[in-house]
Amino acid sequence: MFIERDLNSGIKTGSIEVITGSMFSGKTEELIRRMKRAKIARQKTEIFKPAIDVRYSAGEVVSHDENSIRSTPVDNSSNILLLAADVDVVGIDEAQFFDKNLVDVVIKLANMGTRVIVAGLDMDFKGAPFGPMPALMAVADFVTKVHAVCVRCGSIAQYSHRLSQKNQVVLLGEKDIYEPLCRRCYQQATQN
């Protein structure tokens, strides 16, 4: 997971990396880690997040562990393509909140030689595929699925269970609204 160069031409080849999983699984933490390593390697980086995500900061991507990195909030995915000119590594956080066009944007960036690292929820609170994430995983060169720990039994958690009765798909929140659950505990919680 690095910028590759074609040995014959010296031209960099792009790639698409997707980091996915439930809430509280470390997706943003892993995105920040990869972006900081790219900076250490003196690669030109830019990280984007949806403008609607202001939970911790309007101008930074912040993990639940409070690690952060400067970011550019954007209203839609086409803005990423406009703002990522001449960048070696592009990071995109909370990809599930972007429009479906994000897939085309990511492919275009990779085809231009950019390493693209995308982090986002694979499923919504109902356990359904979330936004452009399924399509991003399909076109990715690398997919990393991270897991949280079930807060009820301690098993591996892959579901983001909503504690609130609100039914809209996009509802920004933290531990006050969501909890990570394993399959068994999620099924028990949603059947009640």
> What is the set of active-site residues?
94
Going by C-beta distance under 8 Å and a sequence separation of 6 or more, which residues neighbour residue 156? 147, 148, 149, 150, 182
Distance CA 15, CA 127 (A): 28
Identify how many contiguous H helices and E strands the chain contains and give both numbers. Answer: 5, 14
Answer yes or no: are the C-beta atoms of 161 and 134 closer than 8 Å. no
Going by C-beta distance under 8 Å and a sequence separation of 6 or more, which residues neighbour residue 147? 21, 22, 25, 156, 157, 158
Nearest alpha-carbon partner for 123 in 77, 164, 161: 161
Answer yes or no: are the C-beta atoms of 48 and 93 closer than 8 Å. yes
Give the residue carrying structure tokens 């995109």.
92
CA gyration radius for the chain?
Answer: 17
